[in-house]
Copies of this chain bind each other. A is one copy, B any other.
Amino acid sequence: MREEENGSRRRRICLIVAYDGTAYNGWQYQSNGVTIEETLNRALGELTGEKIAVIGASRTDAGVHARCNVAVFDTDARMPAGSFPYALNQRLPKDIRIRGAKEVDLSWHPRRCKSVKTYEYRILNDEFPDPTNRLYAYFTYRALDVEKMRQGAAYLVGEHDFKSFCSIHTQALTTVRTITKLEVDCQDRQIVIRVAGTGFLYHMVRILAGTLLEIGEGKYPPERMKEILDAKDRNAAGPTAPACGLTLTAYEFL
């Protein structure tokens, strides 16, 4: 009753979080290196005076960027949900920005809802690197055949066992996932692999990008992608492409 008397009420706030991952050891709390999660928790603690622990939707790796990751936290603070972005952005470093906030049901958990995530993997394929792009795209001077990359990508669309595209350090119970869209765009010297799906395994997008890079370089033909899928063996796929090229670009809850 006491809480109702002074007007406070437990609420769950959902944040849209954008970040340049260059300086961070990923989303999730680590013993070494600063993470996005702990930086958010600290700013929320300063703002509310409460001890706050956010729950992130996508626990991105060290060096990976996001335009729209999602995080929720519970608070007794009476601030309108729409004011959190402005108040938090005052307290956060410039490489993390809150782009939106709204109240959600106290039972709503961002990793327990159906969602479609979109990632972009950017590649600069030129003779020399572009310094103003070096933190947000993987650079390679090796000529890439975009049409072959598209042909290889087509084998991955739909529901498949992506065990070959999953780090051996996974804790996933099943390695079956669904890719709803997989495009390979090319503009000037920049290639963008855009992949959407209802869930991704650990390192899946970066292994997929590393495999498409090998197909683009002509190391093996696009048809090999089917054999790689069928092998259900991490060793069959290409390398894990560097983190800097990867950005979480869209998050849609169904």
Contacts and interface: CB of A to CB of B under 8 A. Distances in A.
Contact of A131 (B85, B97, B131): B97
A199 to B, nearest CB: 24
Nearest to A135: B132
Interface string A4-24: 000000000000001110000
Interface stretch (A50-58, A88-96, A154-162, A200-208): A88-96
* Chain A interface, DSSP helix/strand/loop, else mixed: mixed
A132 B20 CA distance: 5
Contacts of A65: 131-132
A117 interface: no
Task: Name the interface size band of chain A.
Answer: 20 to 34
Interface of A: 18-20, 65, 67, 85, 89, 94-100, 127-132, 134-136, 247
Given A95-B134, A99-B127, A132-B135, 18 more contacts: A18-B131, A19-B131, A20-B131, A20-B132, A20-B134, A65-B131, A67-B130, A89-B128, A94-B129, A94-B134, A96-B131, A97-B129, A97-B131, A98-B128, A99-B128, A100-B128, A132-B136, A132-B247
